[in-house]
Amino acid sequence: MNPLFTALAALLPSIGVGLLFWFAIRALVNADRTERQALAKMDAAERAAEVAGNKDQSGPSV
Protein backbone atom coordinates (compact mmCIF):
# COMPACT_ATOMS: atom_id res chain seq x y z
CA MET A 1 0.00 0.00 0.00
CA ASN A 2 1.18 3.49 -0.80
CA PRO A 3 2.53 5.38 2.26
CA LEU A 4 0.39 8.39 1.35
CA PHE A 5 -2.79 6.32 1.51
CA THR A 6 -1.63 4.82 4.80
CA ALA A 7 -1.10 8.28 6.26
CA LEU A 8 -4.49 9.46 5.01
CA ALA A 9 -6.16 6.35 6.43
CA ALA A 10 -4.55 7.09 9.79
CA LEU A 11 -5.66 10.73 9.77
CA LEU A 12 -9.18 10.23 8.45
CA PRO A 13 -10.80 9.16 11.77
CA SER A 14 -9.29 12.14 13.58
CA ILE A 15 -10.48 14.50 10.87
CA GLY A 16 -13.97 12.99 11.06
CA VAL A 17 -14.16 13.35 14.84
CA GLY A 18 -12.83 16.89 14.56
CA LEU A 19 -15.53 17.78 12.05
CA LEU A 20 -18.24 16.28 14.28
CA PHE A 21 -16.92 18.29 17.22
CA TRP A 22 -16.84 21.46 15.12
CA PHE A 23 -20.46 20.97 13.98
CA ALA A 24 -21.59 20.31 17.57
CA ILE A 25 -19.87 23.41 18.95
CA ARG A 26 -21.16 25.49 16.05
CA ALA A 27 -24.72 24.34 16.80
CA LEU A 28 -24.30 25.23 20.48
CA VAL A 29 -22.94 28.69 19.68
CA ASN A 30 -25.76 29.37 17.21
CA ALA A 31 -28.38 28.21 19.73
CA ASP A 32 -26.86 30.46 22.38
CA ARG A 33 -26.83 33.41 19.98
CA THR A 34 -30.49 32.99 19.04
CA GLU A 35 -31.46 32.56 22.70
CA ARG A 36 -29.65 35.78 23.62
CA GLN A 37 -31.42 37.61 20.77
CA ALA A 38 -34.80 36.31 21.94
CA LEU A 39 -34.08 37.35 25.52
CA ALA A 40 -32.99 40.80 24.36
CA LYS A 41 -36.25 41.22 22.44
CA MET A 42 -38.26 40.12 25.47
CA ASP A 43 -36.34 42.50 27.74
CA ALA A 44 -36.85 45.38 25.30
CA ALA A 45 -40.58 44.67 25.12
CA GLU A 46 -40.77 44.49 28.90
CA ARG A 47 -38.93 47.81 29.29
CA ALA A 48 -41.19 49.43 26.68
CA ALA A 49 -44.29 48.17 28.51
CA GLU A 50 -42.88 49.42 31.81
CA VAL A 51 -42.17 52.87 30.35
CA ALA A 52 -45.65 52.99 28.82
CA GLY A 53 -47.14 52.01 32.19
CA ASN A 54 -45.18 54.73 33.97
CA LYS A 55 -46.39 57.37 31.50
CA ASP A 56 -50.00 56.42 32.21
CA GLN A 57 -49.41 56.94 35.94
CA SER A 58 -47.66 60.31 35.62
CA GLY A 59 -50.03 62.05 38.05
CA PRO A 60 -48.96 63.20 41.52
CA SER A 61 -48.15 60.37 43.87
CA VAL A 62 -49.27 61.54 47.30
For 9-53, the pLDDT digits (tens) are 999 999 999 999 999 999 999 999 999 999 999 999 999 999 888
Q: Does residue 62 surpass a pLDDT of 70?
A: no
Q: Is 60 left (phi over 0), alpha (psi -120 to 50) or beta?
A: beta
How many C-beta atoms lie closer than 10 Å to residue 43's C-beta?
10
Q: Given CA atoms 30, 33, 38, 39 in this order, what sign does their dihedral have?
A: positive
Model confidence at 55, pLDDT cuts 50, 70, 90, reads confident
